[in-house]
Amino acid sequence: MTASLQTPRTTVKRLPTRGAYDRATVEAIVDEALICHVGFVVEGQPVVIPTIHWRSGDELYFHGSTASRMLRSLKNGIDVCVTITLLDGLVMARSAFHHSMNYRSVVVMGTAREVTDPAERLAALDALVEHVCAGRSKDVRPPNERELVQTLVLALPITEASAKIRTGGPVDDEEDYELSHWAGVIPLRLTALPGEPDERLGEGIETPAYAREYRRPMNS
């Protein structure tokens, strides 16, 4: 039995039946998404920055330059709210009012820690490359010392979180079902086109399968 990630501040208030608090649900959304939006407070004002994230075990990671204002703020242990959203479809009801979207989102709250151990940081950066593209970490030049010094890695424990999910078709008012407007769902997908080789790619280097037919989630 997985422990719940629900706390008062991660409890879904609007449409609470759409909320979920089990780790498997939260992790599946985190693992599929390529970016998150990180919210924090700077001198009383909210700031929301998009960035790439990944997961390793029970923690959500993000990284960037040691020159990043966001990361320097967060490594000092300030509160953070990380939100991840996957769009799955447009829900078209017969009434404008009941239009909706199908989506899967996650909110994680807490404070991040800086990953300082060199081996842990290297493993985390490998996990980032694998999160984006399984198999790729063995097909790149790994980070060198100079690059590692420039890279700040932060880990946020996924202990206080919620998922919110809407699926299925439109739900109209009963009397609206006789209207002649089209109703249904337009599914949305983040899809990849075939990888485009760099113009300076060496002769004879073939485009690997992971770039020819990239897809998310990686394991589907």
Please, which residue, 2 or 87, has the CB nearer to a second copy?
Answer: 87
The helix (H) or strand (E) run that includes residue 121 is: helix 118-132
Look at strands 161-166 and 113-114 and give their pairing: unpaired
What contacts 212, CB < 8 A, 6 or more positions away? 194, 195
Q: How far apart are CA 63 and CA 88, in angstroms?
A: 27
| Contact positions with a second copy (CB under 8 A) in 26-65 | 34-35, 37-41, 44-50, 52, 64-65
Q: How far apart are CA 189 and CA 107, in angstroms?
A: 21
Single out the segment in contact with a second copy by CB under 8 A; choices: 22-30, 53-61, 81-89, 154-162.
Answer: 81-89
* Residue from the set 103, 112, 115, 124 that interacts with a second copy by CB under 8 A: 103
Query: Which residue, 4, 124, 142, 111, is CA-closest to 53?
Result: 124
| Contact positions with a second copy (CB under 8 A) in 124-143 | 125-126, 129, 132-133, 136-137, 139-143
Please, which residue, 2 or 134, has the CB nearer to a second copy?
Answer: 134
In the bound complex, what is the minimum distance in angstroms from residue 180's beta carbon to a second copy?
A: 6
The count of residues interacting with a second copy (CB under 8 A) is 94
In the bound complex, what is the minimum distance in angstroms from residue 1's beta carbon to a second copy?
A: 29
| Cross-strand partners of 12 | none
Please, which residue, 2 or 207, has the CB nearer to a second copy?
Answer: 207
In the bound complex, what is the minimum distance in angstroms from residue 137's beta carbon to a second copy?
A: 7
Please report whether residue 119 would count as binding a second copy according to CB under 8 A.
no
Please report whether residue 24 would count as binding a second copy according to CB under 8 A.
no
Please report whether residue 67 would count as binding a second copy according to CB under 8 A.
yes
Query: Which residue, 194, 152, 155, is CA-closest to 54?
Result: 155
Query: Which residue, 46, 45, 75, 67, is CA-closest to 156?
Result: 75
